[in-house]
Amino acid sequence: MHKPLEEILNIDMRGKNILIIGEPTSGKTWLCEQIEDAGHLTIHTDSYKDFGYERSLYELMRDITDYQQPTMIEGILGYRLLRKGQELGIYKADIVIICETTPEKQAEIYMRERDQSKIKYMPSLKKGLKTIFNEFKEMTPKEDWPEFITFNNNY
């Protein structure tokens, strides 16, 4: 379900695990900062990049299970967390907010703030993220799905 920012900010998120996912430059970190903290452990998955592709996910899962409190997690690694958490039975999001933006806005931000040479990898990254997301949905009974919210970030 698509929701505007105002509706997302009015959702009662107390006691719930919140996962914010989306492509690079879609506004995941920004949205996380806009949502009022309701006692969550807030995790930005970019903080785990230095562990490398494989280990980053396991370090994230370890941190989540060590803290034993509701989480608000944002970042691309969230896709893999969703799938692996379901597979291992160690993480379940209550609400998944999927941030979207236009390819034009994405290119604009890469040109202004990021490594422009990486924009060419966006189509394959997008395809990979979609595959992981669909694998999660296929392995999870529909009645166990989190609430999915799509946020079109037109900043």
User: Looking at the predicted structure, is the pLDDT value of residue 87 above 80?
Assistant: yes
CA dihedral angle for residue 60, residue 22, residue 9, residue 63, rounded to 10 degrees: 0
Q: Which residue has the tokens 């105002």?
A: 6
Give the 3-state DSSP-derived string for 31-66, with helices as H, strands as E and coil as C.
HHHHCCCCCCEEEEHHHHHHHCHHHHHHHHHHHHHH
Give tens-digit pLDDT for 39-81. 899 999 999 999 999 999 999 999 998 887 899 999 999 999 9
Contact 122, 23 (CB under 8 A): yes
What is the pLDDT, as a whole number, of residue 118? 82
Give tens-digit pLDDT for 112-134. 888 888 888 889 999 999 999 99
User: Looking at the predicted structure, is the pLDDT value of residue 10 above 90?
Assistant: yes
* Mean per-residue pLDDT of the chain: 93
Going by DSSP bridges, is the β-strand pair 71-74/95-100 parallel, antiparallel, or unpaired? unpaired
pTM: 0.94
User: Looking at the predicted structure, is the pLDDT value of residue 38 above 80?
Assistant: no
Instruction: Name the CATH superfamily for 15-152.
Output: P-loop containing nucleotide triphosphate hydrolases (3.40.50.300)
- Confidence label for 103 from pLDDT (cuts 50, 70 and 90): confident
What residue type is 8 in one-letter code? I
What is the pLDDT, as a whole number, of residue 107? 83
Contact 148, 98 (CB under 8 A): yes
Residue 53 structure tokens = 């592709």
CA dihedral angle for residue 112, residue 21, residue 81, residue 61, rounded to 10 degrees: 70
What DSSP character marks residue 113? H
